[in-house]
Structure formats: C-alpha cells, structure tokens
Amino acid sequence: MLKHALGRLGHLVLVLWAVTTLTFVMFRLMPGDPTLNFLSPSFSEETRAALLKSFGLDRPMWEQYLIYMANLLRGELGMSFLQGKSVVVLLGEALPNTVILTVVSLSCAYAFGVVAGAFLAFRRGGLVEALAIPSALATRAAPEFWLGMLLLTGFAFQAGWFPTGGALSPGKELGSFSTSLVSGDYWWHLALPALTLMLYLQGLPLLLMRATMLDVLNDEFIVMARMKGLSRWSIVIRHAARNALLPVVTAFALGLGASIGGNVVVETVFAWPGIGRLLVQAVQTADYPLAQGAFILIAAVLVLMNTVADLAYALLDPRVSFGAKR
C-alpha cells in the first residue's frame, strides 16, 4: 500500500510537470511579442524593467522555461494586467469562492444522488424508474449555463426570491472572506449557482449508485443476509449500501477536481467571483499572466484530485491489491 501510494505521488509529480510544461508551450506559442503579452503597457517603466528581468523575458526560450519552472516552485505567477495586482493574490481571493460553491453543490448532489439511486435500485421497474432514469440523464445532458439561465430568470428576475448575480449585495463588501462567509447575504447569493450545479451533478451519483447497488444486491453475502432473515431495509442500508458506495466515493473525488474547472460557465452566468470567472475574464481581456496562473491552478487541483481518487479507491477496496504480496 505504501509503495503504491509513493508510486502514485511520483506519478503525480510527473503529470504536474508535463501539464505545466504544456502550459508554458501553449502560452509561448501565441502570436505577437511575448514581452508585450506578459507586460501590460500600463505598467510603469520601472515595473516593466523589473518584471522583464525577474521572468527573463529577454532571454532565450530554454532559459525562460527554467525561470518559469523555478518561479512556479516558489509560487510566483507574475503580475496581472488588472490593476497590476499579483496573480497569486487574485487567485487567492477567488479560490475560496470556487471551493465553497463546488463543495456545497457537490455534497448536496451526492447526498441526493446516493439516496435516490439506492431507492431506485430497490424499486425496480414501474413508472418511478421509467421517469427517474430519463430525467437523471436529461439533467446531465442540459448545458449547465442554460439551467442557470432558466433558474436565474424564474427565481431571480421574475419571482425576485434570489439575487441576480455576484457574491454580496452592493454596499455589503465586508472586506475579508471570513466575514462574508458568516453573513447570510453570501449564502443567499450562493443558493442559485449551487442549485444549478447540484441539478447538473446529481445524475452521475444517482445512476452510479443504482448500478452498483443492483450489482451488490445479487452478491452472495446479500443472499446470505436474506437467508438469515434480516429485514429488507437492514439489508439495503447496512449491507448493500456500504459496499455500493465505493465507486461513488471515487467519483466524488474525481468530481471535485473536475468541477473546479467545470464551474467556469456557471460562475460566469451568476457573476460568481471564483477561479472560473477569473479565467474567463483574463482570457477575454488578454490578461495572459492571470490566465496562465488560473489555468495552472485549475489543472493542479484536477491532477491532485485524480490522485486522491485513486488512493481512496485503493484504501477503501480490500480487493484492490496492486500486485502486493499475497
């Protein structure tokens, strides 16, 4: 197990290196003068000179690459064109909002999906199944931002129950993130984007839970439990569900990594100040240092969560042995 974990960590580092290298290549392949692309004309002469030097933008490409890697390791991502702020600071401000949105919507989606999926596995056939499965598939098929537009029009613009965008009402900027977190206003703003994402995300755990439950319900230990005369619910909850949860847990970890990047459109629809919206704004305004930083952060979270999912799977499932001593 330890050997496997170390192997996965080594793998993680390799993939991170490959992804960041690819990012470097992508951002250097763009047309135009790279110096201009990374230094805003609005910066003062001194700032430009200092940045030019610290990023080695006048050096040959391979030296730039080494400097880029060294900067990444030190957590230095450069200056955004936006008010000349540091990219790290901007990302740091946006990341908590994205994490809150993702964790809240994903947790609700999985809580709902697991219960509904287990219920559907239990009640095979009939009208419930005939309606539930196509609708679960349909929510996965709908574009997230369109779901957001429907909810926004219905509940915010027409009913007026929820705000139409942003994370705080105008004039309520309270400063630090922790103060806004305890304000009801923040959660009121979170409701619609989180609901949109939840609607979009619940289909996968639902279908997954149903499929694995059906699988598990045919297993020998369930037959055994039934023969022992245990009640139906006891079998479903205490025996089947626990075993069926494994793939769902893995999917949750994978979903966490994917959602951080996948939130892009939902954050844009609701003007939610997260990483995804920051990336879109950076890309739209040709703010390349910020776009590069946001992209690397999103990719790093994705790679990290892929590894976590893999480790969780190995840890939770005793049948996975990874060629260890038997």
Q: Which is nearer to other proteins, 160 or 184 (CB)?
A: 160
Determine the 3-state secondary structure of 180 from DSSP. Answer: helix
Q: What's the CA gap between 301 and 120, in Å, rounded?
A: 33
| Minimum CB distance to other proteins, residue 63 (Å) | 22
Could you give the count of Cα atoms lying within 13 Å of 122 in the half-sphere of its Cβ? 15
CA dist., res. 288 & res. 283, Å (int):
7
47/64 with CB nearer other proteins: 64
C-beta closer to other proteins: residue 92 or 143: 143
Report the 10 Å Cβ neighbour count for 272: 25
Burial of residue 131, with CB atoms counted within 10 A of its CB: 0-12 exposed, 13-18 middle, 19 or more buried: exposed
For the bound state, the minimum distance from the C-beta of residue 274 to other proteins, rounded and expressed in Å, comes to: 12
Q: How many residues are recorded in the chain?
A: 326
Q: How far is CA 193 from CA 147, 185, 198, in A?
A: 10, 14, 9
Closer CB to other proteins, 47 or 281, in the complex:
281
Q: Which is nearer to other proteins, 18 or 224 (CB)?
A: 18
**Least separation, in Å, of the C-beta of 105 and other proteins?**
16
Q: Please, what sign has the CA dihedral across residues 184, 186, 189, 190? A: negative
Shortest distance, position 321 Cβ to other proteins, whole Å: 19
Q: Which positions touch other proteins (CB under 8 A)?
A: 11, 15-16, 18-19, 22, 26-27, 29-31, 133-134, 137-138, 140-147, 149-150, 152-153, 157-158, 164, 211, 214-215, 258, 260-262, 264-265, 268-269, 276, 279-280, 283-284, 286, 291, 294-295, 298-299, 302-303, 306
Q: Which is nearer to other proteins, 92 or 134 (CB)?
A: 134
Angle ∠(130,132,135) on CA atoms, nearest 5: 110
Whole-number minimum distance, CB 315 to other proteins, in Å?
A: 20
**Least separation in angstroms between CB 264 and other proteins:** 5
User: What whole-number distance in Å separates Cα of residue 109 and Cα of residue 208?
Assistant: 13
Q: Which two tokens stand for residue 317?
A: 């499932």
